[in-house]
Amino acid sequence: MAATGKLTDDQIAALDPPPSADSIATGLLAYSSDQRWQKEVGGITVNGIYMPTDEQTQYTLTGAVTMVQVAPDTVIQWKIADGTFVTLPGTELVMLAQAVATHVQNCFGVEATLSTGIQASPPTITTRAQIDEAYAAIVTTINTPAPGMSSAAQMDGAVAVDFRST
């Protein structure tokens, strides 16, 4: 770990002199923020369809949802990883966008809770292991009943959907 500049919880506890409570809190807040970002952009699977959740996908989904709001009968063409296209009616696109937005908000909600615990007096979050456990609990596979979901959107197996231009 020395090569990355990151210390384990045990290595931090063994420092002599020990780090101040403020420096430990600052380090835990930074670590939590990084873990939130990693989880946020790590993707989710919705009804067997892999959905990237990186910032570019979030922006693209926002634009597509706006299109559907303006013209509810809009049908969206998504190019998937193998180069083929999937046709998504607006309702399906909105469902996928809601799943991504919910995932992102869950990540920020966990970070907010951890931040409160790190800054509490006395702190209730004192280790990276507690932070890791909290982010690991975020659900990334979502199976929703999707009435009207087209067969194209329910392809066999996990489908990598790439919303970015290729």
Whether 39 shows a pLDDT value over 70: the answer reads yes
- Per DSSP, 147 falls in state T
Omega before 122 cis (within 30°)?
yes
Confidence of residue 159 (pLDDT cuts 50, 70, 90): very low
Q: Which backbone phi and psi does 38 adopt, to 5 degrees?
A: -60, -45
pLDDT at 5: 60
Whether 155 shows a pLDDT value over 60: the answer reads no
pLDDT at 30: 96
Distance CA 123, CA 138 (A): 22
Distance CA 158, CA 44 (A): 11
Confidence of residue 114 (pLDDT cuts 50, 70, 90): very high
What 3-state DSSP class applies to 63?
A: helix
Task: Report percent pLDDT > 90 for the chain.
Answer: 51
Q: Report, as an integer, the average pLDDT of 80-99.
A: 82
The separation between the first and the last C-alpha atoms of the chain, rounded to the nearest angstrom, is: 37
pLDDT at 132: 97
Q: Which residue has the higher pLDDT, 24 or 163?
A: 24
pLDDT at 80: 60
Confidence of residue 28 (pLDDT cuts 50, 70, 90): very high
Distance CA 98, CA 13 (A): 42
Average pLDDT over the chain, rounded to an integer: 82
Q: Which residue has the higher pLDDT, 133 or 10?
A: 133
Enumerate residues 6+ apart whose C-beta is below 8 A from 34.
none
Q: Which residue has the higher pLDDT, 20 or 28?
A: 28
Cα atoms in the Cβ-side hemisphere of radius 13 Å centred on 134: 25
Single-letter code of the amino acid located at 107: C
Q: Report, as an integer, the average pLDDT of 28-57.
A: 91
What is this structure's pTM?
A: 0.77
